[in-house]
Structure 1
Amino acid sequence: MSETTKKNHIALDLLAFVLLSFIAYILQDFLIPLLFAIILSVLIYPIVHYFESKLYFNRIVSITIAITFFVIMAFAVFTLMGFQFQEIVGKSDTYYEQIEKKINPILVQTEKSTGIDRKDVLNDEQLEIKEIAKQNSTGIMDFIATSGSILGDFILTPLYMFLFLLYRNFLVSFIYKATAKSCSRTKIRNILSDFYKVQQNYLLGLLIVMSIVGVLNSLGLLLLGIEHAFFFGFLASLLLLIPYIGILIGSLLPALIALATKDSYWYSIGVIGIFGFIQFLEGNFITPKITGSKVSLNVFASILSLILFSMLWGIPGMILALPLTASLKVIFDNSEKLKPIGFLLGGVQEKYFSNKAKNRLKIWKKIRAKNLKK
């Protein structure tokens, strides 16, 4: 292949990428519910299969029961969270007064030290918590509902889920026919199997991790005596839908409540510290242990995908980033042309560490093994 031909291929690939991104952005209102439906269909498929194979229910009946149960559970969770949020907003005047009492001495000291008028720093009308909550409550509830795009669009997503599960055999046959000239049936079957395993592993692992993190968050807040501990604990765990930064965002509100209701600033610092520690445990021990290596994306690729999909689709894009990138990796790994990109997205193995790092890792493993034997 000549140099000119290679350059033309690169240009065409870049053009195709730009066009696909543009189409994805324009059609986001159509694509986002559709993608959530595909992912959630994978999640509830084992339930549908159980009803069909073990209880011998009709396929339509099995799908209807599974989706109805899922929607009711999700709706109940978000409704309870909505009521709890409204209760917190109702106490915002009290919280504001308490926070103001604690912040004023700091501002007075700052005014004496720097000469900056504290009125320029703290404007009661602008920073009143009740007003902030009222002005942003719609956005907050929209965010929760978007994170619940696991509910997605109340009509479209469950409808898409029903149709995907109903016509699943037909759709698989279509994929076989559409790829008959380029790939063997066996290879397509393996790719579809990898798709299913990646999504199933990610989703089930995410639900388990969210439950564990929600319990740990709640216990930490209970130990500190923070109000609404379970609400804040599981709200932060729900924000794990946004990888890496979700739980840290979820720590800000209970930290403010701690500042308002406790007699020391250390409670707020303690809340952030506990949530940060749980974030460390989740990222380094809980998620890798539960999710395993089937969603084998390295941290750099995960963060880049998070940024790119958030730029493309906002919050829904942040939620979809990891499962979509993991699915793309399956395609890249099975394409000779795109295999290097799949390799780039994958987990970094020990053999790619520097020699010094490898030696340190070996020494650490030996020491750890000796300690475990003792």
Structure 2
Amino acid sequence: MNILNNKTHVVQDLLAFVLIVFMAYVLQDFLIPIFFAILLSVLVYPIVRFFETRLCFNRIFSITIAILVFTTVISAIIVLIAIQFQDIMDESSTYYDKIMEKTNILIKETEDSTGIESKDIVGSEKLEVKEMVKQNSNKIVDFLTRSGAILSDFVLTPLYMFFFLLYRSFLISFLYKATAKVSDKKKMRLILDQLYKVQQNYLVGLVSVMFIVGVLNSIGLLALGIDYPFFFGFLCALLLLVPYIGIIIGSVLPALIALATKDSYWYPFGVIAIFGFIQFIEGNFITPKITGSKVSLNSFVSILVIILFSMLWGIPGMILALPITASLKVIFDNSVKFKAIGFVLGEAEEKYFSNKAKYRLKVWKKIRKLKNKN
């Protein structure tokens, strides 16, 4: 009978998990800005608390100023990037001519060495822009629709942040009222404190990773003598918000600049190689060690959840994967039923990596010392 009950509970848990995943996929346009708002509210909360406690501002004014400061900083970063991009675009015609010149030389050398003409590969017919638009009209409409959804997220997320910060005490009181026992209220307070620390530590870890990768990228570009090394280095680090894909996108532009400004073809390959190597170090060591440890997740789980959330929510899912999983770990750790899941999500202790032969050797040495003493 107990075995049947256990099987029933397992089936129910699996069905509940499938239902949650299905609802998360269906409601992604609703849930994603809410999760971003929660995460960014944790980032902004220290500023709000400073205004409320130190400067004695009222809550609404403090939240408004804090969100304005946050949006101003983000806007300033975007403006600086835009200004630097404008400087690059002012020289784009020169870069384009040099790139086409070197590309034509490379194509000619390939034709001479292989005997295959370029028109045999790409064809001789020219595709008109009008025809390209016609063939890709569905993709263009889909992109514009998605862009509208992204724009609405930029509007909704600050709005959600405002209400989360405004009603924070009210929402916490609701959670306390939802727990009848005093012991449950104490446990709820503990869980909320842990959730706040986890999100805060994740943000600190993410900023640390961006800074380290930005420095490494800039050093690599400086060593190659590429123009605008710090801009491209930290722009690529900023694109780490999109794990794995971001650094690949960020390497394309400096590689093109290297192709336009350097005499050798090895420079663009060098840029891609350096960024690829930094990508390998960041993905396998820096991010799992710094960000993963900040949120108490092991490296294997960190990589898995990024892949899984990207399949569920795309690029926003890749950004939200670690903080959501870390929050779930806190909840699982404080749940009797799901404590084992919380355990497997966390960092493994050193004893799980120890060699059995080495352990036996330590035991044997201890026994030998005891015999010598006797």
TM-score (norm 2): 0.80
Q: Is structure 2 residue 192 aligned with structure 1 residue 198?
A: no
Distance 1:246 1:298, change over 3 A: farther
Structure 1 residue 120: deviation in Å? 4.4
What is the Cα deviation at residue 334 of structure 1? 1.3
Q: Structure 2 matches for 1:88-237, cutoff 5 A?
A: 88=88, 91-108=91-108, 110-111=110-111, 116-121=116-121, 153-180=153-180, 184-237=184-237
Contact 1:33 1:152 in 2 (8 A): no
> What RMSD in Å do the two structures reach over aligned CA positions?
3.7
- Between the aligned partners of 1:33 and 1:65, the Cα distance in structure 2 is 21
Structure 1 spans left out of the alignment, 5+ residues = 363-374
The one-letter code sitting in structure 2 at the alignment partner of 1:322 is L
State whether residues 239 and 250 of structure 1, in contact with CA within 8 Å, keep that contact through their aligned partners in structure 2: yes
Identity %: 65
Aligned residues: 351
Q: Which position in structure 1 is the counterpart of 2:342?
A: 342
Deviation at 1:140, TM superposition (A): 11
- Which stretch of structure 1 is more off in the superposition, 327-336 or 288-297? 288-297
Contact conserved, 2:251 with 2:271, CA < 8 A, in 1? Answer: yes
Find the aligned partners of 1:344 and 1:281 in 2 and give their Cα distance.
24
1:269-284 to structure 2, matched below 5 A, reads: 269-279=269-279, 282=282
Q: CA 1:137–1:201 in 2, change beyond 3 Å: closer, same or farther?
A: farther
**Gap regions ≥5 residues in structure 2:** 363-374
What residue is the counterpart of 2:30 in the other structure?
30
The separation in 1 between residues aligned to 2:17 and 2:284, in whole angstroms, is 33
**Compared with structure 1, are the counterparts of its residues 141 and 23 closer, same or farther at alpha carbon in structure 2 (3 Å cutoff)?**
closer
Q: How far 1:204 moved relative to its partner?
A: 2.2
More deviation in 135-144 or 37-46? 135-144
TM superposition shift of 1:265: 2.1
Q: How many Å separate the matches in 1 of 2:169 and 2:358?
A: 48
Query: Which whole-Å deviations, capped at 9, do the CAs of 1:244-295 have from their partners, x for residues lacking one?
Result: 4532442232122212221112222332333344445655776577658341
Distance 1:292 1:341, change over 3 A: closer
The structure that has the greater radius of gyration is 2
Name the SS of the counterpart of 1:153 in structure 2.
helix
How many Å apart are 1:240 and its aligned residue? 1.5
Q: Which amino acid is 1:22 matched to? A: F
Distance 1:356 1:245 in 2: 40
17-26 vs 102-111, greater mean Cα deviation: 102-111
- CA distance in structure 2 between the partners assigned to 1:209 and 1:358 by the alignment: 35
Cα distance between partner residues in 1 of 2:141 and 2:219: 29
Relative to structure 1, is the Cα distance of residues 9 and 86 closer, same or farther in structure 2, using a 3 angstrom cutoff?
Answer: farther
User: What is the TM-score normalised by the length of structure 1?
Assistant: 0.80
- When residues 181 and 121 of structure 1 are mapped into structure 2, their CA distance, relative to the original with a 3 A threshold, is farther
C-alpha spacing 1:203/1:177, structure 2 compared with 1 (3 Å) = same
Matching residue of 1:313: 313
Shift of the 254–122 alpha-carbon distance from structure 1 to 2, 3 Å rule, reads: farther
1:60/1:166 contact within 8 Å kept = yes
After TM superposition, give the deviation of residue 109 of structure 1 in Å.
5.1
